[in-house]
Chains A and B, each alone.
Chain A
């Protein structure tokens, strides 16, 4: 049973003392930094960071808050609560269950959006953008109304649905090209996936589980790239899982194509040895691949092939995880624990500046949501060396599906301050 609910206050100003503040190039120890929020409350608040890092708030790719499918269990309010706990000022929202394939659905989604979880619908503290569908209902071969959707969406994608056939892919991109928007794909060939639910590798064969081979991803990535090259359409690959796909992207860029990609948080943190536990918490799609694949993704972060880290934040009902692995629903929460889980290793491997780019500016750029000098403050206070053991109450809403529950993270979020909303997690 969850009990923890981090405090949440509205302050027009926050004074952070004794903080290592990110100045755009490096962390600089300052006695005092005054931040201005956008709260209607004129109060000011003082907080001693005790030498913790203060970095720009993050931007999430691949979040799904389940609404309106099970809004008794998880809602936009819970999702925004997760964002404030995790230090995210914005996100690209993709609903797997409720495709935004016409303007009415876009309007409905926008109206449900509570940008400040305390203020309810209509607030503006959290910047949630939407992806439109390119097919009606995801995975069909009927075009969505992309021209009408275009002004309100950051791009077009069909969630995790498979492309029905190559001709429709061509037609969708050919039509969508008129909008000038980017197409987002999670490459997965449904016939090669078959009924697989884990990475096809040594562990799946040892355990007798049906696997999803890497070529299920690369074949679709290749098809998409060839179509995009032919039509000159910008594309983005979501949650790439293996080095072979990154090689295709590298080659495409060498030929001048506008291709971007992200990799999933858990694909950087885990490998398929976790399958030995047979714990449904590790049931995530696309699948967690081998240690060699994971290392290839890290190399992609280092050499610049990977543009951003995706959260793939997917709430799953408790009862859908309390079953055996193969019958469980895939997905994991990530917003609340992403930064403390990955910061230390990420900054070690790619440096502080690139780490911030991967978690904040680069994903925001994909949504055209980069914050400028005039924006209200949005920061995270992170104790990089203070471990945190993940507990259920770290997560917002009535779900807690994460493979990191019970695990010790190397860092802790102490507080977040986003557009006037101060959250104390210390």
Chain B
């Protein structure tokens, strides 16, 4: 029984402010625990979490695995490259086979939109979305929100600008839903071939093609990785032109507020979407995001499993 209104975490679209608040508040407590000499708590002792990654991932999978271990869960990593998926096993069969081994939580990443929801419809396990296609990556958005609250005190009334490949970004979609729910104002900016073409259902955010205007009032700027693997045709002329037009540079930051924070979901293409001086500079909170990622994932797993574990 989840301690949240939601039973699974598919995305942040439609998730209530109360649930997001609960996750962020719990994450802050786990953040404190992570600073202790002994970083482990027994909250998920006796529970088994499967990390079911059908797409390559280093930091998200590592972050989830660390979160699971620090909650004392048993963890199993499953990647499509070393699985029966290669032999033609269907997604449902893969899940059911794993579920038969008496697992409790599945953390899934897949190239297809809606795979976490699909798996939840065919399973009794708790499903956590670690990224589905270009749809959502909710824990990344939650850690972004936690970082902003940590650095700026609150999300309410803050201006957050997201720059880059919005069209192919699950991070951007989760952020625009989550941050809007929490009272922040989100501005999206990117080249016309990399922003959504139809924004009727996302009209609660501002679209600003001029990057200087987009950063002018921002309290936080999130630079998105230029996802080369998703750009399988001529969406941009060159990395050079992208950097000169939309890259976060010292020159661009002269148009922004003095205390603006710079964020990035990683991994960074240094010198493309973000100059090295900025990534390593005083405005950057990128490494705080990484730490907060573990705390947020601990909170999500703990809360979704809430009531299921006698030890918690």
Contact = CB atoms under 8 A, between A and B. Distances in A.
Contacts of A201: 198
A209 to B, nearest CB: 5
Main secondary structure of the interface of B (DSSP, over half): loop
Contacts of A203: 201
A28 interface: no
A108 interface: no
Contacts of A322: 90, 92, 122
B28 interface: no
A394 B117 CA distance: 27
Interface residues of B, number: 29
A169 B200 CA distance: 38
Interface residues of A, number: 20
Interface in B200-255: 200-202, 233
A194 B230 CA distance: 13
Nearest to B233: A194
B262 to A, nearest CB: 25
B198 A278 contact: no
Of A211, A278, A325, most buried by chain B (CB within 10 Å of CB) is A278
Interface in A189-232: 194, 200-209, 211
A278 B201 contact: no
A174 to B, nearest CB: 33
A326 B112 CA distance: 6
A324 B113 CA distance: 7
A323 interface: yes
A83 B173 CA distance: 45
B158 interface: no
A327 interface: yes
B201 A326 contact: no
B198 A207 contact: no
B118 A323 contact: yes
Given A207-B135, A278-B118, A326 B113 contact: yes
B183 interface: no
B134 A324 contact: no
B199 interface: yes
A209 B201 contact: no
A201 B197 CA distance: 7
B61 to A, nearest CB: 20
B134 A209 contact: yes
A319 interface: yes
Contacts of A326: 111-114, 133
B133 A209 contact: yes
B113 A323 contact: no
Residue among A201, A207, A208, A325 with the highest chain B CB neighbour number at 10 A: A208
Contact of B92 (A194, A202, A323): A323
Interface of A: 194, 200-209, 211, 278, 319, 322-327
Given A205-B167, A323-B118, A325-B114, 7 more contacts: A194-B233, A202-B200, A205-B197, A205-B198, A206-B201, A207-B135, A324-B118
11 contacts: A201-B198, A202-B198, A202-B200, A202-B202, A205-B199, A205-B202, A206-B173, A323-B90, A326-B113, A326-B114, A327-B112
